[in-house]
A and B are shown apart, each in its own frame.
Chain A
Amino acid sequence: MTPAIELIGIDKRFGAVHANNDVSLSIAKSSIHGIIGENGAGKSTLMSILFGFYAADKGEIKVQGKTVKVNSSTDAIALGIGMVHQHFMLVDPFTVLENVILGAEGGALIGPALAKARAELKRLADEYELDVDPDAIVGELPVGLQQRVEILKALYKGADVLILDEPTGVLTPDEADHLFRILQQLRNQGKTVILITHKLREIMAITDHVSVMRRGEMVATKETAKTSLEELAELMVGRRVLMHVEKGAAHPGEVVLDVKNLVWRDRKGTPRVDGVSFQVRKGEIVGIAGVSGNGQSELLDVITGIAKATSGTVLFEGEDITDLNDPSILRRRGMAHVPEDRQHRGLITSFSAAESAILGWQNDAGLGRSYHLNRNAVIERCRKQMEEFDVRPADPLLKSSKFSGGNQQKLILAREIGSNPDLLIVGQPTRGVDIGAIEFIHKRLIHLRDMGKAILLVSVELDEIRSLSDRILVMFAGRVMGERGPDADERELGLLMAGVVKDAA
């Protein structure tokens, strides 16, 4: 059978970066084909070339056995290729229907297209479990439904090949399962699905074939049934990776952080953190799981003194710090904070690494006197941190923005851990970080715990929460839905994340 898509010798450079190096790939019709690789491995570039977003420097694209030129998204759509981007390409104030017909209006007036799309959406909804209200305003839909709109858009335009770029990053486990059912139905109806992801378990769960990319090259293509998590991970990183963090039992000591009935309301008066209570002890990692946007960020802001609590108390080492809205004082008292949004809050991307590495500690005695910073001391401190945390490239004068996500995160961790804190608050420690660096960061966090430090971890990656935490709290709509041990059932945690408490009744 002719493959649905064939890429032969695709080559693409962005300046000095060789994003795709002689990449070849063949994708069978009516199959789900996974493409995995670390960040920057070239997966997205390759798919952008297939979708006509970038032009390849060299190489050939065949669709249904015929050599084609894909110079624009229009060409790709005409060839029956549809793409669901990682960041949705939706017009928020538009209705679902308007979004679906955009670019496929079929005439100067949109009336007929709206009617046609309404009928077509109903058909697709029945066929693929793709239900969504055609008249809903897209911006008001939850992300899971927005993603469905993206899929509907592609199908409405007649896509036979559907590319999905990191589709599950924003979904709850339940929503992800639903998505997978949709994808399986699509395949059973003869559509071809290309799934780009860095989550190995998804690959194992749903794909028929999997291709691994590393540093712009296609390393291997395997039949999913004949490979394993460990093999894929090794192919991705180029060396053996420990998939599970090894850690001993926790030895919790005295309480370091004691949060009682904490409430934070936004300007509209909606409680975003709604009566949260928990404790973090020395020598343990407490993980907060939940789909992003359920109050975790606000909780961190209140604890770290960035936002002011509406009510409730926060005790840090026995002292009430609820109204002490001064992160610099908290930091000096031993509360370190690795913020969720590293690009905006963790460092200043236009600063050099050395400058970013002293943020918050710029008044340290070792770095200079009164209004004067000792440049050499700043650089020297950064150089030491880079060495200890294996930051690459180890150049303190390089702009912070030039480091990869993983290395930026290591810089921040080095800064925060370097101050020898009693409590480390970490938000999304490995978001957008490649597997090699994830392993490193996880090891450091466990190491810190074993040194008797208290760690509060917030992550939307359930796997991460489960492998690091000694206790797991699940947040939904600003509330803690429950506490579970590290060996908690994933399905159960998933239900809690969706706000369903099983044993409540």
Chain B
Amino acid sequence: MDLSIFLEILSSTMRMSVPLILACLAGLWSERSGIVDIGLEGKMLAGAFAAAAAASYFQSPWMGLFFAIIISLLMSLVHGYASITQRGNQVVSGVAINMLAAGLTVVIGNSWYKQGGRTPALDDLTRFMPIDFPGRASLFSIPVFGPISKIFLDHSILTYLAFAMVPLSAWALAKTRFGLRLRAVGENPHAVDTAGISVARLRYQAVIIAGILCGIAGTYLSTSLSAGFVRDMTAGRGYLALTALIFSNWRAWPALYACLLFGFLQAIANFLQGVHFFGLEIPVQFFNALPYVMTVILLAGFIGKSVPPRASGIPYTKDR
């Protein structure tokens, strides 16, 4: 394998990691507050659709981003209402959101655009394109240094936003009042309640953050990574993000590494399609399954037990 392909894979790793990082952080915020969020996939998918539709209608990627966040947020609030206010089963609510998003995006897309669930293709002006900074072309043409710098600099604003969210989340969780309370409510909501803090309010805040992050993730998928929405374009990234969350033991920095690793595996899978080893073609499904297989193996033997927030998935009731 020559060097240029390797650099291409690394650059692709960056791009493939972005939606994973955003979704994984969404899950992190939600689950640290005690709300299991299996609906990451659905929120991302609905966000992706809203972003593509709005970007093409308003001819602006920013309008796409805005509507993606709104839609994803609404779905988050539905999840919040079901699991916080109504104390419903959080997994059921999340699955419902996934099914709703998978169905509605196709039905509405078909009825609006009649392209089998696709949205109209977006041109460069209506997409989030790699940032065009002064001297970009000449920098990338420098030998050796150029292609290497391209791995890190040839990306859209959303990519940098995603990566910036990692230290921001880690810092907010560890050092702020909001973070302290949020972590506490995911471990023992009774302690939070008796300290005079509203459990429901904290959890809604967490769910709202998750909604916003999923909206950004969806926007990235349909307006940056691709040029338009295709049915089921999230392709299991929400579940992969959940896996990364378990893998990282619900911590922000390890979550970044897990997402980069999974992004790398996805990038390899794309580049190695149809590659033969000793005369055997390796099916692409093998690479797609690798993150899950690795998670199971590593959790089973190498990085020890992964401990979720103690109160996650359990509706809070005052009665003891």
- With an 8 A cutoff between CB atoms, is B190 at the interface? yes
Inter-chain contacts of B178 with A (CB < 8 A): 108
- With an 8 A cutoff between CB atoms, is B184 at the interface? yes
Q: In whole Å, how far is A90's beta carbon from the nearest beta carbon of chain B? A: 6
- Candidates B175, B176, B187; contact of A91 at CB < 8 Å: B187
- With an 8 A cutoff between CB atoms, is A107 at the interface? yes
**Which of A83, A87, A92, A93 lies at the interface centre, i.e. has the most chain B CB atoms within 10 A of its CB?**
A93
Known pairs A87-B320, A109-B175, A110-B175; A74 contacts B180 (CB<8 A): no
- With an 8 A cutoff between CB atoms, is B279 at the interface? no
Interface size class of B (residues with CB under 8 A): 20 to 34
Do residues A92 and B318 form an inter-chain contact, with CB atoms below 8 A? Answer: no
Q: CA–CA, A286 to B175, complex, Å?
A: 54
Contact mask A97-117 → B, CB, 8 Å, 1/0?
Answer: 011011111011111010000
Q: In whole Å, how far is A278's beta carbon from the nearest beta carbon of chain B? A: 37
Q: In whole Å, how far is A49's beta carbon from the nearest beta carbon of chain B? A: 13
Do residues A89 and B318 form an inter-chain contact, with CB atoms below 8 A? Answer: no
- With an 8 A cutoff between CB atoms, is A77 at the interface? yes
How many A-B Cβ pairs are below 8 Å?
A: 71
- With an 8 A cutoff between CB atoms, is B150 at the interface? no
Do residues A85 and B194 form an inter-chain contact, with CB atoms below 8 A? Answer: yes
Contact mask A318-339 → B, CB, 8 Å, 1/0?
Answer: 0000000000000000000000
Q: In whole Å, how far is B202's beta carbon from the nearest beta carbon of chain A? A: 11
Known pairs A92-B188, A94-B187, A109-B176; A102 contacts B193 (CB<8 A): no
Q: In whole Å, how far is B255's beta carbon from the nearest beta carbon of chain A? A: 18
Q: CA–CA, A92 to B176, complex, Å?
A: 19
- With an 8 A cutoff between CB atoms, is B191 at the interface? yes
Inter-chain contacts of A91 with B (CB < 8 A): 183-184, 187-188, 191
Contact mask B219-235 → A, CB, 8 Å, 1/0?
Answer: 00000000000000000
Interface residues of B (CB under 8 A from A): 175-181, 183-184, 187-188, 190-197, 310, 318, 320
Do residues B187 and A105 form an inter-chain contact, with CB atoms below 8 A? Answer: no
- Candidates B175, B177, B191, B320; contact of A90 at CB < 8 Å: B191
Inter-chain contacts of B318 with A (CB < 8 A): 53
Do residues B180 and A77 form an inter-chain contact, with CB atoms below 8 A? Answer: no
- Candidates A77, A93, A99; contact of B196 at CB < 8 Å: A77
Inter-chain contacts of A104 with B (CB < 8 A): 195
Known pairs A91-B187, A92-B310; A108 contacts B194 (CB<8 A): no
Give the nearest-CB partner of A72 in chain B. Answer: B196
Do residues B194 and A83 form an inter-chain contact, with CB atoms below 8 A? Answer: yes
Do residues A89 and B176 form an inter-chain contact, with CB atoms below 8 A? Answer: no
Do residues A108 and B196 form an inter-chain contact, with CB atoms below 8 A? Answer: no
Give the nearest-CB partner of A83 in chain B. Answer: B194
Give the nearest-CB partner of B187 in chain A. Answer: A91
Inter-chain contacts of A311 with B (CB < 8 A): none
Inter-chain contacts of A109 with B (CB < 8 A): 175-177
- With an 8 A cutoff between CB atoms, is A352 at the interface? no
